[in-house]
Amino acid sequence: MSLRYGREMVSIPGPSTMPDRVLSAMNRAMPNIYEGELVDLAFEMVERLPSVARTTTGKPFMIISNGHGAWQMAINNTLSRGDHVLVLESGRFAPAWGAMAAKGGVEVETLPCDLRSAVDLDAFAARVEQDRERQLKAILVVLTDTATSVMNDIEAIGKVLRDADHPALFMVDCIASLGCDVFEMDAWGVDITVAGSQKGLMVPPGLGFVWASPRALAAYESADLKDGYTDWAPRMKPNAVYELFAGTPPIQHLFGLREALDIIDEEGGLDAVWARHAALAGAIHAAIDTWSTDDGLSFNITDTAARSNAVTAVLTGSIDPVELRGRAQEGAGLVLGLGIGEIGEAFRIGHMGHLNPPHVLGTLGTIEATLQAMDAPMGGSGVAAAAAHIGRFL
């Protein structure tokens, strides 16, 4: 007998759970794309997007793509062949973004990390200090790395650049956790913010976002990697929706995005959304803390301050993560994220976006039941710890 029944609970780090309201808003016939509601909607999104990245001076760009397409847009509109950029490694995604830039002829240097902690601020400051000739054209870093589940201190990294009065463009990939982890584009001196629709922003994959500061817009003028499709020029001052998207607009996604932004506003804005993510991540962290044993589960990220509120990578020690995920999925209909990158045997829990206590406790309870079924080592009941944590907010 299997208890797997009904809707699967998918607790992977993106695509995240989509609100029914978003899915319903997307379920509609094709409208006129030259005038009327769709046109108003597209320009309404242009008006509303800056606040999502906490910028008033940054300009938002949308691209019909996943996060990789938004990465490409950010690179091609700001960098040139032969530019020297520094990638701050903290997992898998910043190096992949750097590799994309390298394909275009950018010289990429990497500040390495140990995959279990955030960017080393002292090592970064030393590298910036050493760059007396100001050769570093840009810094590429992620807010949260979805493989290691580390959250970098973007504010502190920005402060290193400002204290050194270094002109490098500060480019931050927020794809994993915009709308989950605190992020302040203007206040932290960020020049490029990149995001995708399908994680914290609760819209199906297919829409990418880039926010450009005035400094990034100035860099556009001399960038020589500009290409036909991602070029900001027609998108900058669009006369029609057709120019905003360099072609036919992503109609369903625009309706979905408006609904998602309404949902964020109704909750009380980003501050309220961040607080909910912190509370629910606290429950997940409490469970893992309690489960942890020397030969069993443990956090990949050891420093509590460097753990993301959107995703958690759990090392599995002597426990087989393939069996754990398989039994949870086949036996109970819970889908967990597989471990990716070079962090060793692991699984990941996504806790981003449209997330509530029943989702979190259901995920944790099913993991605990699976651990028991496997006779796996466990320090104690993680579910009890998570419930106690969530109880403090009820």
Ligand X SMILES: *Cc1c(COP(=O)(O)O)cnc(C)c1O
Which stretches does DSSP call E strand in 44-125?
Answer: 59-64, 84-88, 107-111
Dump the DSSP string for 352-376.
-SS--HHHHHHHHHHHHHHHHHTT-
Judged by CB under 6 A, which of 196, 256, 337, 382 binds ligand X?
196
Closer to ligand X by CB, 44 or 184: give it.
184
Binding segment toward ligand X, per CB under 6 A, in 72-80, 139-147, 264-272, 369-377:
139-147
State how far the Cα of 147 lies from the Cα of 142, in Å rounded to an integer.
11
Binding segment toward ligand X, per CB under 6 A, in 61-69, 124-132, 275-283, 335-343:
61-69
Closer to ligand X by CB, 67 or 282: give it.
67
CB of 313 to ligand X, least distance (A): 12
Q: What is the distance in angstroms between the CA of the first residue and the CA of the last residue of the chain?
A: 36
The tokens describing 194, both together, are 């990149």
Q: What angle do CA 103, 157, 222 make, to 5 degrees?
A: 45
CB neighbours of residue 388 within 10 Å: 13
CB of 331 to ligand X, least distance (A): 28
Q: What is the footprint of ligand X within residues 170-189 (CB under 6 A)?
A: 173, 175-176
CB of 97 to ligand X, least distance (A): 7
Closer to ligand X by CB, 14 or 382: give it.
14
Residue 93 binding ligand X, by CB under 6 A: yes
Residue 89 binding ligand X, by CB under 6 A: no
Binding segment toward ligand X, per CB under 6 A, in 141-149, 182-190, 223-231, 377-385:
141-149
Residue 146 binding ligand X, by CB under 6 A: yes
State how far the Cα of 242 lies from the Cα of 247, in Å rounded to an integer.
5
Is the peptide bond between 15 and the residue preceding it cis, with omega within 30 degrees of 0? yes
When CB distances to ligand X are compared, the closest residue is 67
Q: What angle do CA 201, 207, 209 make, to 5 degrees?
A: 75
State how far the Cα of 53 lies from the Cα of 257, in Å rounded to an integer.
15
Instruction: Let me know if 114 is exposed, middle or buried by CB neighbors in 10 A (0-12, 13-18, 19+).
Output: exposed
DSSP state of 16: -
CB of 40 to ligand X, least distance (A): 27
Q: What is the footprint of ligand X within residues 23-52 (CB under 6 A)?
A: none
State how far the Cα of 186 lies from the Cα of 164, in Å rounded to an integer.
18
Residue 68 binding ligand X, by CB under 6 A: yes
DSSP state of 208: E
CB of 273 to ligand X, least distance (A): 18
Closer to ligand X by CB, 74 or 160: give it.
74
| Site residue total, ligand X (CB under 6 A) | 13
Binding segment toward ligand X, per CB under 6 A, in 66-74, 77-85, 130-138, 248-256:
66-74
Residue 306 binding ligand X, by CB under 6 A: no
Q: Is 201 helix (H, G, I), strand (E, B) or coil?
A: coil
Q: Which residues bind ligand X (CB under 6 A)?
A: 14, 66-68, 93, 142, 145-146, 173, 175-176, 196, 205
